[in-house]
Amino acid sequence: MDFLRIKETPKLQGSVKISGAKNSALPILTATLLSKNPLHIYNLPNVADVNTLLKLLEILGASFERVGENHIHIETLGVRETKATYDIVRKMRASILVLGPLLARFGYCEVSLPGGCAIGARPVDLHIKAMEKMGAEVRIENGYIVAKAPKGLQGAKIIFDKITVTGTENVLMAAALAKGKTTIINAAKEPEVVQLCEILLSAGVQINGIGTSELEIIGSEGELLDMQDIRVIADRIEAGTYLCAGAITNSSITLHSVIPQHLQAITDKLEEIGFGFEVGEDSLTLLPAKKLQAFEIITAEYPAFPTDMQAQFMALAMVCEGVSSIEERLFENRFMHVSELQRLGANITLRGHIANVSGGAEIKGADVMATDLRASSALVLAGLIAKGETNIHRIYHLDRGYENLESKLRGLGVSVERLREEV
Ligand code: EPZ
């Protein structure tokens, strides 16, 4: 296995180009199962999760050509398989996103239960209940979701007890081919959900309420869709992570190919800490702070502060004056990075789902272990300010969601190398 060696880098400079959003690319790829025609997808991030899902789609019978590093041409008319097996789903739990499209298109599918991951149990009960509400018969057999809707799915009123991003996306895709109207109450409003709505709209699906928590979809009654070419939106979490790299070293850096309004909760929090911004059409320049103030965060659904940025801000809190408080409200176990940051010297106390971070402790390089995608990015940020060298192990977590990480960090002046563990 590889590990990353990062040397203390007190100041960053330069710019970084943000890639397409992993969490938009994933539902976009499964939505191609609804298409009657092949299509181009541009700005597709070349990261492990996207490539794993492409492999699953190929196993189901899809075919695609990689035209460029971030550009594919995909055709799913040849799909005949309807089983998403455990060996793939366990590697990438977002494979659950084939449930809606496969069920809507074929009236039958078997999808391995994703199981939990480091950050929590990650149940999919709301996805299953929604499919049943739309007329599917669903049972769990040997760890698989076995779903049947031989007469097709029926539009229904779906009220989500909890806001679920992939749950909303699964229902959107199922509703697109269902008979009649589906209303989703308490829908997720993340930019990635909005892009999926826009893609379905441009494919001829009638959708009202895009960007709100109440969506209304009129299904095509089983007709496959005329999907148009797609350009994946910029990754707001990757962008937020690089902003934190600039912030933790109190540097001025520029991000290109971003959508500033998707980053509002993140840039507002950084302004509260003491940073400024120059905002362009699709760029953001971070301006250094005179003093870094401690802050408070409570994670919540979009447009509030994103849980996917919680670990990165915990690293940043190590250099803010005073005690910062970070409350994680979405996942039950998203503090795996705390013990690793403490190994580097961070002064963090945990009370249930609240972490208090006292800034100013001396941070010294050490061997640390990545546990999940965003926790690993927090360790990279800590490595920038840790004295000496920091070795981050199990970086396959990072490779799931950060494209060309080393070269992007080097472009900002970071001394980083990817090495092989001695066996
Ligand atoms: C999406 O996960 C993202 N993944 C996650 O990003 C992100 O952290 C999360 O949304 C929250 O923003 C993708 O989009 C591929 P949820 P998702 O369903 O859809 C509970 C990353 O780092 N819940 O919105 O799986 C659930 O346990 C990843 O890129 C149920 O109880 O999250 C959680 O507490 C990590 N039953 C809450 O809802 C269900 O059926 C929100 O989960 C579904 C969810």
Distance 274 CA to ligand 1 centre (A): 31
Q: Which of 110, 182, 124, 117 is nearest to 153 (CA)?
A: 182
Question: What is the dihedral sign for C-alpha 139, 92, 339, 354?
Answer: negative
Which residues participate in the annotated binding site?
22-23, 93, 122-126, 308, 330
DSSP secondary structure code for residue 179 in this structure: B
Q: Which of 319, 363, 371, 309 is nearest to 341 (CA)?
A: 363
Our mutation pick for probing the ligand 1 site, out of 125, 164, 377, counting the most ligand atoms within 8 A of Cβ, is 164
Statement: residue 337 has pLDDT above 80? yes
Give the mean model confidence (pLDDT) for residues 133-162: 97
Statement: residue 153 has pLDDT above 80? yes
Tokens of 105: 């298109």
Distance 166 CA to ligand 1 centre (A): 7
Statement: residue 92 has pLDDT above 90? no
Statement: residue 421 has pLDDT above 90? no
Distance 388 CA to ligand 1 centre (A): 36
Strand 39-42 and strand 71-75: pairing?
antiparallel
Side-chain half-sphere CA neighbours of 54 within 13 A: 21
Which residues participate in the annotated binding site for phosphoenolpyruvate?
22-23
Rounded Cα distance between 218 and 183, Å, is 9
Distance 124 CA to ligand 1 centre (A): 9
Statement: residue 168 has pLDDT above 90? yes
- Whole-number percent of the chain with pLDDT over 70: 100
Rounded Cα distance between 258 and 235, Å, is 7
- Give the H/E segment covering residue 337: helix 336-343
- Whole-number percent of the chain with pLDDT over 90: 94
Residue-wise pLDDT for 283-301, tens only, equals 999 999 999 999 999 999 9
Answer yes or no: is the C-beta of 45 below 6 A from any ligand 1 atom: no
Answer yes or no: is the C-beta of 158 below 6 A from any ligand 1 atom: no
Rounded Cα distance between 169 and 33, Å, is 13
Answer yes or no: is the C-beta of 303 below 6 A from any ligand 1 atom: no
Give the mean model confidence (pLDDT) for residues 319-330: 98
Domain boundaries, the chain: 2-19+234-420, 22-231
Statement: residue 1 has pLDDT above 90? no
Residue-wise pLDDT for 380-405, tens only, equals 999 999 999 999 999 999 999 999 99
Check for a shared fold between 2-19+234-420 and 22-231.
yes
Tokens of 54: 């492409």
Burial of 107 (0-12, 13-18, 19+ CB in 10 A): middle
Distance 370 CA to ligand 1 centre (A): 20
In angstroms, the Cα distances linking 6 to 42, 47, 374, 376, 408 are 32, 21, 17, 13, 13
Catalytic residue among 109, 117, 197, 320: 117
Mean pLDDT of the chain: 96
Pick the CATH number of 22-231 from 3.65.10.10, 3.40.50.880, 1.10.3720.10, 3.30.420.40: 3.65.10.10
Statement: residue 118 has pLDDT above 90? no
Statement: residue 24 has pLDDT above 80? yes
Residue-wise pLDDT for 342-373, tens only, equals 999 999 999 999 999 999 999 999 999 999 99
The verdict on whether 117 is a catalytic residue reads yes
Say what the pLDDT of residue 188 is.
98
User: Which atom of ligand 1 lies nearest, measured to the CA of 162?
Assistant: 38
Complete DSSP assignment for 110-153: EEE----BTTB----HHHHHHHHHTT-EEEEETTEEEEE-TT--
Residue-wise pLDDT for 197-224, tens only, equals 999 999 999 999 999 999 999 999 999 9
Say what the pLDDT of residue 104 is.
98
Burial of 370 (0-12, 13-18, 19+ CB in 10 A): buried
Q: For atom 4 of ligand 1, which residue has the closest CA?
A: 23
Statement: residue 116 has pLDDT above 80? no
- Give the H/E segment covering residue 358: strand 354-358
Statement: residue 93 has pLDDT above 90? no
Q: CB atoms < 10 A from the CB of 423, how many?
A: 4
Say what the pLDDT of residue 120 is.
80
Q: 199 and 230 in contact (C-beta within 8 Å)?
A: yes
User: Which atom of ligand 1 lies nearest, measured to the CA of 192?
Assistant: 14
Q: 206 and 17 in contact (C-beta within 8 Å)?
A: no
* CA R_g for the chain: 22
Q: Please give the distance of CA 337 from its chain centroid, rounded to a whole number.
A: 17
Answer yes or no: is the C-beta of 126 below 6 A from any ligand 1 atom: yes
Q: 24 and 232 in contact (C-beta within 8 Å)?
A: yes
- Residue 393's φ and ψ, nearest 5 degrees, are -95, 165
Say what the pLDDT of residue 179 is.
98
Answer yes or no: is the C-beta of 169 below 6 A from any ligand 1 atom: no
Say what the pLDDT of residue 67 is.
98
Q: Which of 223, 229, 174 is nearest to 198 (CA)?
A: 229
Q: CB atoms < 10 A from the CB of 383, how many?
A: 30
Three-class DSSP category at 170: helix
Q: With bands split at pLDDT 50, 70 and 90, how would you rate the model's confidence at 114?
A: confident
Three-class DSSP category at 371: coil
Answer yes or no: is the C-beta of 408 below 6 A from any ligand 1 atom: no
Instruction: Tell me the CATH architecture of domain 2-19+234-420.
Output: Alpha-beta prism (3.65)
Answer yes or no: is the C-beta of 373 below 6 A from any ligand 1 atom: yes
Rounded Cα distance between 27 and 192, Å, is 8
Our mutation pick for probing the ligand 1 site, out of 111, 162, 171, counting the most ligand atoms within 8 A of Cβ, is 162
Our mutation pick for probing the ligand 1 site, out of 89, 125, 165, counting the most ligand atoms within 8 A of Cβ, is 165
Statement: residue 115 has pLDDT above 90? no
Q: 25 and 44 in contact (C-beta within 8 Å)?
A: yes
Statement: residue 15 has pLDDT above 90? yes
Answer yes or no: is the C-beta of 125 below 6 A from any ligand 1 atom: yes
Three-class DSSP category at 247: helix
Answer yes or no: is the C-beta of 162 below 6 A from any ligand 1 atom: yes
**Proportion of the chain in helix, strand, coil states, percent, rounded to 5:** 35, 25, 40
Tokens of 112: 């391995």
Q: For atom 25 of ligand 1, which residue has the closest CA?
A: 166
Give the mean model confidence (pLDDT) for residues 131-159: 97
